[in-house]
Amino acid sequence: MTEYLLILLSTALVNNVVLVKFLGLCPFMGVSNKLDTAIGMGLATTFVLTLAAASSWMIEHFILQPFDIGFLRILAFILIIAAVVQFTEMFIHKTSPMLYQLLGIFLPLITTNCAVLGVALLNIQEQHTFVESVVYGFGSALGFTLVMIIFAGIRQRLALSDVPDTFSGAPIGFITAGLLALAFLGFAGLPTG
Amino acid sequence: MLYSAIASLTLMGLTLGFFLGLAGRYLKVESNPIVDELESLMPGSQCGQCGFPGCRPAAEAIVEGAAPVTICPPGGRALIEQLAAKLAIDFDLDSIEDKDPAFAQVSEETCIGCTRCFKVCPTDAIMGGPKQIHQVFREACTGCEACIEVCPTECLHMDGVEITLGTWRWPKPALAA
């Protein structure tokens, strides 16, 4: 149990996908203008990431390894991620049309969110068991959501503050992201067990 | 190995496709066919100049009668004509001119700081406080003209886009006479 808690903590904070591994920067910059959409995006990505981590582990261990076709790994994972995202899109469209509209194009774009593929590949590379993979995926997604929410909060305040012309818009966003990444480096000081 | 690779990927594709097909059937969202038709007529750029979050919500509003067919600035006259024909609405097309993009502008001499304009602004493009002169953020203004009507002193007006190196665009292709 402690082991899983440690994986959760380490993926969510210490090895945060966005700010430490720099994966999934597109939605991080793109959907972080409003807190509501950022939370929605975080939840959708959490769903996709966890499901993708679980299903890619199964693909790896039940199809790719028995048939010794590891060279198809990226292709197979993309396939399964695309399917999971498509399913999530249908699900959100059915359950919450408003969120579906707010997320817009970024919902199908979760497919190309490299954090999702990255976590699936890292799971294989670090030879996680099934439960570990799921916890790893969920932890990463949790970290992603956390960072999205923090960043959206900051950007909402930034929109009201007096930013010099040269920096307003995307530049100040990138600078803020950099400072946030520096702040997250502080978690590297946590004992990781 | 070659055959197992082909077979496994094919199998995966088929299985996923099957489940997605099932999900598509169970999670189907009923949509209004008229809304679909109107949406396919609209520009589809989701620019939000109409004050709705995208073309589909705008199409829904038009169908419900909550929005006029003239709601879409980028669509211009051609779109109004098509929408009116589709919905069988009589519309005097001569009253519509193709407009150039414009921003709201506050005249500082007459603004009394009543805050009415920024309460109606759909994109929060107007800044200011009570009894302070308001200001329009051009980056956020979509030119919807919602603020023009509510101003008690008529100090808001639409201002064309000044042509600079940053805002210059190729002119739209003109129809041959």
CATH number at residue B70: 1.10.15.40
Q: Does A169 touch chain B (CB under 8 A)?
A: yes
Cα B125 to Cα B156: distance, rounded to the nearest angstrom: 13
B165: in domain: no
Q: Does A31 touch chain B (CB under 8 A)?
A: no
B41: in domain: yes
Query: Which one of A60, A67, A160 would you mutate to disrupt binding with B, by most B Cβ within 10 Å of its Cβ?
Result: A67
Tokens of A137: 């995926």
> Do residue A79 and residue B5 have CB atoms under 8 angstroms apart?
no
B126 and B80 fall within a common domain: no
Q: How far is CA B44 from the centre of its chain?
A: 8
CATH number at residue B153: 3.30.70.20
Around Cβ A56, how many Cβ atoms within 10 Å? Answer: 28
A-chain residues near B135 (CB < 8 A):
none
The domain boundary, picked from B45, B80, B95, lies at B95
Query: Which one of B2, B6, B9 would you mutate to disrupt binding with A, by most A Cβ within 10 Å of its Cβ?
Result: B9
Tell me the shortest Cα–Cα distance from B16 to chain A, in angstroms: 6
Give the residue among A120, A142, A107, A135 at the shortest CA–CA distance from A30. Answer: A107
B46: in domain: yes
Candidates B27, B53, B54; nearest CB to A91: B27
B8: in domain: no
Candidates B4, B13, B53; nearest CB to A67: B4
Question: Residues 14-33, chain B: which have Cβ within 8 Å of A?
Answer: 16, 19-20, 23-24, 27-29
Per-residue pLDDT at A156 exceeds 80? yes
B148: in domain: yes
Q: What is the mean pLDDT of residues B137-153?
A: 81
B126 and B76 fall within a common domain: no
Q: Which residue is listed with tokens 């109107």?
A: B38
B60 and B108 fall within a common domain: no
The domain boundary, picked from B47, B80, B95, lies at B95
Beta bridge partners of B31: none
Q: Which residues contact B151 (CB under 8 A, 6 or more apart)?
A: B114, B116, B117
> Do residue A63 and residue B29 have CB atoms under 8 angstroms apart?
no
Residue B88's domain comprises 33-95
In order of A27, A39, A94, A104, B22, the CA distances from A148 in angstroms are 9, 7, 24, 17, 32
Tokens of B17: 């496709």
B-chain residues near A86 (CB < 8 A):
20
Per-residue pLDDT at A192 exceeds 60? no
Question: Hey, CA dihedral for B119, B100, A167, B50, is it positive or negative?
Answer: positive
pLDDT tens column, B18-50? 999 998 888 887 778 888 888 888 877 666 677
B7: in domain: no
Q: What is the mean pLDDT of residues B49-76?
A: 80
pLDDT tens column, A63-100? 888 888 888 899 999 999 999 998 888 888 888 888 78
A-chain residues near B53 (CB < 8 A):
101-102
Q: What is the mean pLDDT of residues B88-96?
A: 71
Tokens of B158: 């639409």
Q: What is the mean pLDDT of residues B79-95?
A: 78
B77 and B118 fall within a common domain: no
**pTM assigned to the model:** 0.62
How many Cα atoms sit within 13 Å of A47 on the Cβ side? Answer: 18
B176: in domain: no
Percent of chain A, pLDDT > 90?
33
Query: Which one of B11, B29, B39, B46 would you mutate to disrupt binding with A, by most A Cβ within 10 Å of its Cβ?
Result: B29
Cα angle: A174, vertex A86, A95; to 5 degrees: 90
B71 and B116 fall within a common domain: no
A-chain residues near B13 (CB < 8 A):
79
Q: What is the mean pLDDT of chain B?
A: 82
Q: Does B2 touch chain A (CB under 8 A)?
A: no
Tokens of A129: 């068991």
B126 and B156 fall within a common domain: yes
Give the residue among B68, B80, B72 at the shortest CA–CA distance from B55. Answer: B72
CB A128 within 8 A of CB A146: no
Q: Which residues contact A83 (CB under 8 A, 6 or more apart)?
A: B16, B19, B20
> Do residue B5 and residue A97 have CB atoms under 8 angstroms apart?
no
> How many domains is chain B built from?
2
